[in-house]
Chain A
Amino acid sequence: MTVREWAAAGLLVAVGIGLACSDTRKGDGASGTVGVAFETLQTEFWVAGIDAIRAELGKSQLGMLEAIADGDANRQLEQVRGFIARGVDGIIVVPKDAKSIVPTIRAANEARIPIVLFNRPADPSGARSVAIVADNLGIARATVEHLCGLARKTGRKQKAAILVGDLGDANAIDRRDGFDQAAAACADAMDVVARIPTEWNQEKALAGVTNALQAHPDLGLVFTSSDFMLPSIASALKTAGRYRKAGEEGHVILGGFDGDATAWRMLVDGTLDATGVQDVFFEAEAAVAAIRDLRAGKDVPARILDRGFVIHSGNRTEVAARMWGAKVAGAKEAGATR
């Protein structure tokens, strides 16, 4: 046998093994299949999202085909077209961005397959879809209002910083605007001295907070547009000797957005004061309900709002069950003690 024959055989064996190991994700007795296409699974939020959707589809006796575009809008279009060719009964997508998703929605419309956008809306176009979106502005504003209350209690005006996300992302813009609205109403207790651009990048967040602490060693309040940057903030605060629990001298009032497992742990140990939580469980339930209703020919609003909530030390025990990060942290801790 030549090298080339070995190669051909090897390639086919690899594929064969892959197929043998696979399952089609359409459970026994499933009443249909929904294609779920995520842009990425690189943060805990998206992993929690796809897990919540899988659980909801299971409850509705619907099977699931999954595809991850790995940040590539073109691949996402190909994956959704694949779902359409496979004849799925509905499609749930986390779009790469608001513009490039439009041809994908149009393709689903042409095939008369209901399509729901999860957590990110599309730009206005003639294409029809249902978008489940968090009230980013409202949740961020409520979180910063809570931080403002804590700042007032200190009895002095606190210097504040915000870590801004990628401004090409509508969610980042809304969170920044929510911060600005609350900060404007809290001018007596906080003074915004630093706006740190991060482009959703942890290294940039670390460098930005370090610089802000250099320029303002008495920085008293930090809000991050996403909890996944909390480790960067914690690292910068530790280096500056300012990583203290609430109630300790020199504590920096700290707030976030998302409600991930790190935020939960920091909330529990007292280093994080509050975070705005996107209700992933509500969003998953609403997405699957929208697919079901659209299949049944019912009217569904084009935009369904997740109002989310703010979690802080005062309400932690009551709302923890709705915080997806608390669930993830609990699962990890349970795994670690096994």
Chain B
Amino acid sequence: MRRLSRLPGEAWVALSCAALFALLAPAVPGFASAGNLRNLFSSLLPLVAVAVGETLVLVTGGIDLSVTAVIALASVLGARVMTADAGLLAGNPLAVPAAVAVMLATGLAVGTVNGLAVARLRMPPFLATLAVTTFASGFAIWLTRSEGIAGLPAGFRALGAGRLGPFPTALVVVLPLALAAHALLARTVAGRWLFAIGGNARAARVSGVPVERATLLAYVTCGACAAVASVLYTARLETGSPVLGQRLFLDVIAAVVIGGTSLFGGRGSVAGTVLGALFITLLDNGLNLRGLSSFTVLMVKGAVILAAALVDAARERMQGSR
């Protein structure tokens, strides 16, 4: 038991995922089928993209509420560039790369605004990113008058539904993204700056950490990750939607917190977040397939997230009392 307790946090989340799978596989018909595992994978990857970005921000002790608004705004801006229905570059062979570039630029721009508001203007992250969310969501709806944009090129749609052997095409995008974020957080000086800011921003500043620059980096990366998720979600739905991802935030926070990242900052890992996203995706899929009513699924998910947050708070108290 003592050896078990020395396992890193990620190993516990991995064991929890394995146990959940073992629990659901015999209880839920079709859960372990090849088709459903493919579904699980394609649901997991965009969530991983957006949750990885959120991890970097939470590690600094901040929060970025605007990831869902980035997903929606990037979705409609990209779709307006490439749609065959009077898109700006309709029929042009460069339409897809240009649209993807616009989507990524949207994420970077929103992330920059968030980062500057938090780092330079010292606005509370909750307030700054809530204001940006409200603006970006309203802008997306105003641009489209609430209407989805269809007629997206086949080359773009392949990002959502295409396969490379047994793996979805999205893996080619999300795997390098997660590895890069892991390297940034665990292997670079910038990553150590982020942990230092989350641990104690004032002490970090005194120690020579460029707090403003590092905070900006976290928010800009988070915006970019949300834009990548937007590309994948938009491609899956074959539609640019001004309300895309509107209800996703709870899942994002659940993935990050279950993965062991502290809501208080200073602790977290990309590997944990990936496993946290896997846990929440397995839970969501399994409970739905089990035939539970949607209200019960919401309650179970809420209970799981609450449990993870309580553990985080307890751990924080224990560290504080040492």
Contacts and interface: CB of A to CB of B under 8 A. Distances in A.
A21 B314 CA distance: 29
A78 interface: yes
B290 interface: yes
Contacts of A71: 243, 246-247
Contacts of A7: 12, 307-308, 311
A8 interface: yes
A26 B16 CA distance: 29
Given A7-B311, A71-B243, A82-B36, A103 B236 contact: yes
Given A67-B294, A86-B29, A99-B148, A8 B288 contact: no
Nearest to B7: A4
A102 B150 contact: yes
Contacts of B148: 97-100, 168
A75 B247 contact: yes
A16 interface: yes
B27 interface: yes
B241 A100 contact: yes
A66 B285 CA distance: 12
A85 B146 contact: no
A14 B306 CA distance: 11
B248 interface: yes
A73 B71 CA distance: 13
A22 B290 contact: yes
A70 B307 contact: no
Given A73-B244, A85-B33, A65 B291 contact: yes
Report, as a range, how many residues of chain A touch the other chain.
Answer: 35 or more
B13 to A, nearest CB: 8
B133 to A, nearest CB: 16
A5 interface: yes
Contacts of A1: 1, 5
A25 interface: yes
A210 B267 CA distance: 52
A22 B239 contact: no
Interface stretch (B111-119, B192-200, B219-227, B296-304): B296-304
B23 interface: yes
Contacts of A85: 30-31, 33, 35-36, 39, 289
Contact of A70 (B7, B43, B241, B294): B294
Contacts of B131: none
B94 interface: no
B48 to A, nearest CB: 14
Contacts of A81: 35, 39
Given A74-B245, A85-B35, A167-B146, A15 B285 contact: no
B30 A86 contact: yes
A87 interface: yes
A66 B294 CA distance: 7
Contacts of B33: 85
A169 B245 CA distance: 19
Contact of B307 (A11, A74, A86, A168): A11
Given A4-B9, A22-B290, A103-B161, A14 B300 contact: yes
B287 interface: yes
Interface string A1-45: 111111110111011111101111110000000000000010000
B146 A199 contact: yes
23 contacts: A1-B1, A1-B5, A3-B314, A3-B315, A4-B9, A5-B12, A7-B308, A11-B16, A11-B307, A14-B300, A14-B307, A15-B300, A16-B23, A19-B23, A24-B291, A65-B291, A66-B293, A79-B288, A81-B35, A84-B35, A87-B29, A99-B149, A99-B238
Given A2-B5, A10-B307, A78-B285, 7 more contacts: A14-B304, A73-B237, A74-B237, A74-B245, A75-B247, A100-B241, A103-B236
